[in-house]
Amino acid sequence: MTHLSRSLILGTSILALAACGPEDLGSPGANGDINIGDIDNSVDNSVTNPTPTPTPTATGGTVTPAAGCPTVGADPLINSGTITGPEGTWRVCTLPSVFTEDANLVQVPGLLYAMNGRVDVGTDDGPTDDASDGITGNTVELTIQPGVIIYGATGRSYMVVQRGSTIDAVGTSTRPIIFTSQDNVFGLTNNTSSMQWGGLVLLGRAPVSDCDPGKTTDTFPVPDANLIACSQELEGALNPPSFGGATPDDDSGDLAFVQIRYSGFTLNSGSELQSLTTGGLGNATRISYIQSFNSSDDGVELFGGEPKLDHFIVVGAEDDSFDIDTGAKADIQYGVVVQRAGSGDNALELDSEDKDFDVNALPRTNAQFTNFTFIAQGSGSQAIRVRGDADLNMSNGIVVKPGAPCLRINEEGLSTNGLDDQGAPAFNSMIFDCDTTSDSGQNDINPFLGAGNSFQSTSLTTLFVNSATEDAYTPVFDATGLSTFFAASTFVGAASSSDTWYAGWTCDSPTVSFGTGQSCLALPVFN
């Protein structure tokens, strides 16, 4: 779940946010600082893992280190020597703490990029794209080429794309971009490893809620002036970055064919990042073909904005797989959730209303899912949880959590204020392999069922792919009427029996195999 801590600052109404997750650390070696030598490139010192974890020796790998670090832009990389793991020995090129000008991270055989702490892409340019907000930042475009591998050299390493800046990280189906941990490089991870570095954060200028200027209006849409004054901050970080504004079609760049492994380090008490965190993300941003693997918190958390996601896979998240709140208007198609057995809370949690105030938050959270498969085999009490008056529409999907409720609605989840209200949750053309009710009325899904739903046992292959049984279930609901983002579909679930969209760019694990042949415990070697 997500907790929001709030403090009003006159004129800007900045709010702090935090996410909660597991309290224990995931594996050794991930929480100390990496020892970086040769900061002036004069000596080729090696990178060593912090005590007590020893530096592994080579185990027959074929990788040989690149000769040096490339020039990627005006901000120089630090040649931090070499690092050795099962694949061989790599050259380590450490990213600057702030990209001040456009940069292009190229894929070089035998080279890894490292984050030695927080890395900012640009500096905050404020809630508007002109000087009217009184904030003048430095806007930057960071390009990351297919096949690039970036790892967090400390637990507190994470990347933040600031408001006004963009990231162009587009891999391919055979050469994904990988964000991972130092332990993964050393070959020290296992199928339950997590919390080894921070994660990737994208911030934009689209509307967010849960602040006084956005809540005290009696009209919707909320006036632009209110939204511009309604910003939030990423809690737990020094000099926390802000997000939010009045630009629904803001563009933070493109993210596609990307793996984000072993994330979720605790930045501060109770403040964890997840694989991907978005804040005020505009609908012009592309997020496609993403795999979150073993986040210690959520797989992805969407704070406000109008995020659009497709072909998004969450494996092994230890809190919620999808977490959506703070007024987000989220459209998601072709989503896959596979929890580790006995680990992880909800496949989906969404929240809207801030209970610290006496009126409902505006804009109101509205999540729309179509063509998805949730394998909710974690420790959570239900598959889907709706809190605080959030709106939800789910269609053409499959939810699997045998013996437990499909849905829980609590904390006045059905109250309305007449503003930005899409009505009660709605479920159409769904296959549910879970319980319709439990002893509590708040877990009764029946009042929200629309057309074409079925409660039945599933016979999915490789955990999430339709068998002939699921393929034979013809959807009767057309989700294209909900959003222009959605494509028409003739099947339920995220993957029909003939689909292979998930293969090639993903990594496999004992939790679930995507038929790629690349283990999440190892690094791919691209020449």
Number of domains in the chain: 1
Q: Which of 336, 315, 397, 329 is nearest to 364 (CA)?
A: 329
d(CA 191, CA 183): 13
Structure tokens at 188: 């020290």
pLDDT class for 262, splitting at 50, 70, 90? very high
Please give the pLDDT value at position 266: 82
Q: Tens digits of per-residue pLDDT, 180-190? A: 999 999 999 99
Q: Which of 342, 339, 343, 341 is nearest to 321 (CA)?
A: 339
| Owner of token pair 């009767």 | 476
Strand spans (E) along 67-138:
78-85, 88-94, 98-99, 103-105, 111-115, 118-121
Residue 496 located in a structural domain:
no
Q: Which pairing describes strands 253-261 and 158-161: parallel, antiparallel, or unpaired?
A: unpaired
Residue 509 located in a structural domain:
no
Residue 524 located in a structural domain:
no
* pLDDT higher than threshold 50 for residue 354: yes
pLDDT class for 267, splitting at 50, 70, 90? confident
* pLDDT higher than threshold 50 for residue 167: yes
Please give the pLDDT value at position 441: 66
* pLDDT higher than threshold 60 for residue 14: no
Lowest mean pLDDT among 209-223, 225-239, 494-508: 209-223
Please give the pLDDT value at position 45: 31
Please give the pLDDT value at position 210: 80
Averaged pLDDT, 302-314: 98
Q: Tens digits of per-residue pLDDT, 369-388? A: 999 999 999 999 999 999 88
Question: Please, are residues 157 and 119 in contact by the beta-carbon 8 Å criterion?
Answer: yes
Q: Is 212 exposed, middle or buried (0-12, 13-18, 19+ CB in 10 A)?
A: middle
Residue 503 located in a structural domain:
no
Lowest mean pLDDT among 88-92, 232-236, 387-391: 232-236
pLDDT greater at residue 13 or residue 523: 523
Residue 418 located in a structural domain:
yes
Q: Print the domain residue range for 141.
A: 2-481
Residue 421 located in a structural domain:
yes
Please give the pLDDT value at position 224: 92
pLDDT class for 5, splitting at 50, 70, 90? very low
* pLDDT higher than threshold 70 for residue 417: no
Please give the pLDDT value at position 27: 30
Residue 90 located in a structural domain:
yes
Q: Report DSSP state, residue 277.
A: E
Please give the pLDDT value at position 410: 77
Averaged pLDDT, 108-127: 98
* Mean confidence (pLDDT) of the chain: 87
**Residue 185 backbone dihedrals phi, psi, to 5 degrees:** -65, -45
* pLDDT higher than threshold 70 for residue 478: yes
Name the percent of the chain lying above pLDDT 70. 83
Please give the pLDDT value at position 80: 98
* pLDDT higher than threshold 90 for residue 488: yes
What is the Cβ-side half-sphere exposure of residue 215, based on CA atoms within 13 angstroms?
A: 19
Residue 515 located in a structural domain:
no
Please give the pLDDT value at position 325: 93
